[in-house]
Structure formats: structure tokens, C-alpha cells
Amino acid sequence: MCNQVVSLDEYEYWVNDKEGYLACGDCVRLDTDIRDAYLKHLTNNPQCADVIFKEEDLVNLGYTRCDKDFETGLYEFQDDDPESILENAKAQLDDDEFIFRIDATSPFDIRYNLFSKKV
Ligand SMILES: [Zn+2]
């Protein structure tokens, strides 16, 4: 991994706490070991979401985007909860693993999707 200096504004980086390195978006996309560690970290993890891959990238990696879009934010209707989203998804597709992907963020809300993959 490059451990390069990244701009936090760019928002495209991943800190691997377990192995103690920081990978930029290119490292995650291009280095298969880092990519696999990154995806493993995200799998079935309601605390973290992908910010590096495009939707097409995930589809090419074998993931399927679940139909529903989710929002968490300041407005009352923006009350989706990743923990329960994941629990429900697991209950419906118990052979699959899941990752969250962030679609858009603003200071007031965050929009995201869930992707599934057969194990
Ligand atoms: Zn890098």
C-alpha cells in the first residue's frame, strides 16, 4: 500500500486498523489484497460503508444492489437504521453477505444502499 498523504476532502481512503495502514482509493481499487481486506471489513458491518467503489465496480465484483434506497438524517422520515436494515436483509437472504455503500452525503443527511452477494 502507498500510505500516501490523502486529502480528507477527497473522502477516498480506508484505514485498516487491524494491520495499521492507510490505503488510498487507487490502492483499494487496484491491489487485490487490499481490496479483499477492505470488502471483508465492510461485510455484514452496519458501522461502515463503502465510499470507494462505484456501483458498477461492485456489480463486477459479484454484488447485487438491493432495490431500496436508505436515508439517515435530520428530517423525521430519514430514520433508516443500518443495524435493522442488515438484520432484515439477513433474515430474507440468509445465504448472502452484505455491504453498505454510501451514495451521497450532505451536512444534514446520508443516502446509502445495500449490496448483497451469494457466499
Ligand atoms: Zn494508495
> Tell me, what's the pLDDT at 4?
65
Give me the pLDDT at residue 90, please. Answer: 96
Residue 73 Cα to ligand 1 midpoint, Å, equals 31
Q: How many structural domains is the chain composed of?
A: 2
Beta strand 49-50 with 21-24: parallel, antiparallel or unpaired?
Answer: unpaired
102 and 65 in one domain? Answer: yes
Report the predicted TM-score, pTM, of the whole model to 2 decimal places. 0.88
Q: What is the pLDDT along the chain (119 residues), one digit of tens a residue?
A: 576 666 655 568 888 888 888 888 999 999 999 999 999 999 999 999 999 999 999 999 999 999 899 999 998 889 999 999 999 999 999 999 999 999 999 999 999 999 999 98
Residues 53 and 8 grouped into a single domain: no
CA-nearest of 40, 50, 49, 2 to 18 is 40
Are 63 and 103 contained in the same domain?
A: yes
Quote the ligand 1 centre to 13 CA distance (angstroms).
Answer: 8
Q: How far apart are CA 1 and CA 34, in angstroms?
A: 8
Q: Is 31 in the same domain as 61?
A: no
In this structure, the strands spanning 49-50 and 64-73 are unpaired
56 shares its domain with 113: yes
Alpha-carbon distance of 104 to 113, in angstroms, equals 10
Q: Look at residue 17 in the predicted model and tell me its pLDDT.
A: 86
Question: Which residue range(s) make up the domain with 4?
Answer: 1-42
Sequence-distant contacts of 6-11: CB under 8 A, at least 24 apart: 11/51
State the distance from the centre of ligand 1 to the C-alpha of 33, rounded, in angstroms.
13
Distance between Cα 97 and ligand 1 center (Å): 27
Q: Which residue has cell 434506497? A: 69
Q: How far apart are CA 62 and CA 5, in angstroms?
A: 31
